[in-house]
């Protein structure tokens, strides 16, 4: 079993009950909140709001990884995220996570106060595993097929659930071989990252098989296109179905759910957890 409390550079992230990771994109082009929080004051205000709504960690990203997104260079990504992380380190009691694929950004972000590395590329960039190992903070390894620019062109699997699981376990093994302790690794199947609508639904249906590997599991389902595909809803109308998907994930053992809609998600997963732990003695 995974440890219940992660040490995020001195700030605890208690996963003994399922938690919400609040999304804070400091980008002009993210698929849902792009452009809303580019100004550092607005970003800090939004983070405080999400903590008040019950977020246990705030995930700061400076590069959109939506399908078709063009890469951002390292200087621009640093310019976007570092002032915000510095301010959040001062203002928040909860840990800050850095959502990046670049070792240089990981390094600067942790120096500025970030306590968790969230990499949609599972630390596959040259030097990323070594950087994360040296920084000593927990890491979230996410599955992606291809890269954001082309990943939705032709996603292809023989058995998506088995292949995503095997990839993540192999990446966790590579991290452990490089000195990242097992207790500091989270896994994420990467909903929407090189997957068809059917692949996404299957991955959620069998999330329990990923949880069975013993690492805490993070899911990012918030407002994503799998909801649009089933219900035909625009991004701004995907809150309720997104909450439902997060409940399905927590029911199967997910520890952390990444969401734009913190209060609704937090209340729903707390309720779900209450049902999970109910027993004759309670």
Q: Which residues are catalytic?
A: 224, 258
What string marks each residue from 97 to 136 as x (binds ligand HH2 by CB under 6 A) or -? --x------------------x-x----------------
What string marks each residue from 37 to 76 as x (binds ligand HH2 by CB under 6 A) or -? ------------------------x--xxx----------
- List, in sequence order, every beta strand (DSSP E) within 154-252: 185-188, 218-220
| Distance (Å, whole) CA 82 – CA 98 | 10
Instruction: Please count the other Cβ atoms lying within 10 Å of the Cβ belonging to residue 232.
Output: 8
| Distance (Å, whole) CA 245 – CA 86 | 33
Q: Does 225 bind ligand HH2 (CB under 6 A)?
A: no
Q: Does 209 bind ligand HH2 (CB under 6 A)?
A: no
| Distance (Å, whole) CA 263 – CA 53 | 5
Closest CA to 122 of 85, 64, 167: 167
Closest CA to 260 of 37, 9, 11: 37
What string marks each residue from 143 to 182 as x (binds ligand HH2 by CB under 6 A) or -? ----------------------------------------
Of the candidate residues 191, 217, 227, 241, the single one contacting ligand HH2 (CB under 6 A): 191
Do residues 143 and 151 make contact, with C-beta atoms less than 8 angstroms apart? Answer: no
Of the candidate residues 26, 31, 46, 168, the single one contacting ligand HH2 (CB under 6 A): 31
Q: Which residues bind ligand HH2 (CB under 6 A)?
A: 23, 25, 27, 30-32, 61, 64-66, 99, 118, 120, 140, 142, 188, 190-191, 218, 220, 258
């Amino acid at each position: 079993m995974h440890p219940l409390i992660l040490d995020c550079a001195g700030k605890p992230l208690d996963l003994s009950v399922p938690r919400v990771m609040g999304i804070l994109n400091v980008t002009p082009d993210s698929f849902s909140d792009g452009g809303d929080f580019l100004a550092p004051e607005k970003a800090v205000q939004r983070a405080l709001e999400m903590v008040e709504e019950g977020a246990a960690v705030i995930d700061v990203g400076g590069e959109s990884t939506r399908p078709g997104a063009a890469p951002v260079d390292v200087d621009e990504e640093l310019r976007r995220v570092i002032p915000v992380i510095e301010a959040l380190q001062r203002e928040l009691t909860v840990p800050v996570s850095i959502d990046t694929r670049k070792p240089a950004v990981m390094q600067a972000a942790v120096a500025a106060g970030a306590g968790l590395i969230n990499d949609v590329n599972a630390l596959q960039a040259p030097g990323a595993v070594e950087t994360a190992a040296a920084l000593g903070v927990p890491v979230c390894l996410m599955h992606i097929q291809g890269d954001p620019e082309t990943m939705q062109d032709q996603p292809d699997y023989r058995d998506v659930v088995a292949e995503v699981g095997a990839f993540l376990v192999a990446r966790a093994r590579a991290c452990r071989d490089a000195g990242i302790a097992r207790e500091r690794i989270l896994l994420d199947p990467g909903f929407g990252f090189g997957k068809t609508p059917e692949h996404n639904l299957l991955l959620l249906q069998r999330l329990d098989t990923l949880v069975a590997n013993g690492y805490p599991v993070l899911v990012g389902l918030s407002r994503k296109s799998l909801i649009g595909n089933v219900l035909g809803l625009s991004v701004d109308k995907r809150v309720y179905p997104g909450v439902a998907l997060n409940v399905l994930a927590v029911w199967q053992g997910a520890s952390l759910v990444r969401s734009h809609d913190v209060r609704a998600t937090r209340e729903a997963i707390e309720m779900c957890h209450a049902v999970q732990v109910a027993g004759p003695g309670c």
